[in-house]
Amino acid sequence: MHSVARHRSPAVEKPFTEECLMKRVAALFLFFALPLWIGACASTGGATGDGGASTLPTFTASTLEGTTFDLGDHLGKDVVMISFWATYCEPCKVEMPIVEQLHQKYAKDGLQVLSVSLDGADTNSGVRPHIKKNGFTFDVVIDEDGTIAQAYNPASVAPFTIIIGRNGKIAKQIEGFQSSQAGMLENEVRALLGLGIAP
């Protein structure tokens, strides 16, 4: 039982087995465990309604009406619909009246709509007239620096719709749009709002 201890040379091995070993363990901890711990802490920002945490990126943007839209104010609280469009996008012009109907019908139940224009410097002057002409009342922002698209629509597809549930997680992503999808879109929103299938 003590044969290993009797054959040791304390003068040579003690510094290695105790001091050096402890240093190596500490170094390994700092190298592997600490970054993982920091990463776990960093990913828990943005509380959600179910007591969990949303890892979705947040942003703030100025609307056409001069107010500030802060996604962080809505994550974990509302059902959020982010609809990407552009003035030169014909399918977008089909989708936008339907998005307006959903906004009018379900805002009182907790639906928050944000319309994000992907228009660049050469076409963004047409955004405000288009919104005004059609009487759209949902929040509209122009993603001039591409911050919102980089976070949620890196390919800058239009139309492109993201629906985020009250748990702060993406529930649906829809690329493109046809009028036949209107019922599906409404039922998706109703389900997330806890209202059941549309009558």
Counting the structural domains of the chain, the total is 2
Integer Cα distance of 119 and 140 in angstroms: 12
Pair (85, 27) in one structural domain: no
In a domain, 54, yes or no: no
In a domain, 9, yes or no: yes
Pair (155, 77) in one structural domain: yes
pLDDT at 7 over 50: no
Which CATH number fits the domain that encloses residue 84? Answer: 3.40.30.10
Tokens of 142: 């122009």
C-alpha of 123 from chain center:
27
In a domain, 47, yes or no: no
pLDDT at 46 over 70: no
DSSP 3-state of 53: strand
Pair (186, 117) in one structural domain: yes
In a domain, 50, yes or no: no
Tell me: the pLDDT tens digits for 136-146? 999 999 999 99
In a domain, 198, yes or no: no
Beta sheet of 111-117, edge-to-edge order: 139-142, 111-117, 79-85, 160-164, 170-175
In a domain, 7, yes or no: yes
pLDDT at residue 14 in the model: 44
Pair (13, 90) in one structural domain: no
Pair (180, 98) in one structural domain: yes
pLDDT band at 197 (very low <50, low <70, confident <90, very high): confident
In which domain, by residue range, is 80 found? 60-193
pLDDT at residue 55 in the model: 84
pLDDT at residue 196 in the model: 82
Tell me: the pLDDT tens digits for 69-108? 999 999 999 999 999 999 999 999 999 999 999 999 999 9
DSSP 3-state of 161: strand
pLDDT at 38 over 80: no
Pair (66, 38) in one structural domain: no
Pair (34, 68) in one structural domain: no
What's the mean pLDDT in 53-63? 88
In a domain, 55, yes or no: no
Tell me: the pLDDT tens digits for 120-173? 999 999 999 999 999 999 999 999 999 999 999 999 999 999 999 999 999 999
- Between the CA atoms of 88, 92, 94 and 99, what dihedral angle is there, to the nearest 10 degrees? -140
What's the mean pLDDT in 54-64? 92
Integer Cα distance of 8 and 85 in angstroms: 75
Pair (33, 116) in one structural domain: no
Pair (35, 66) in one structural domain: no
pLDDT band at 199 (very low <50, low <70, confident <90, very high): low
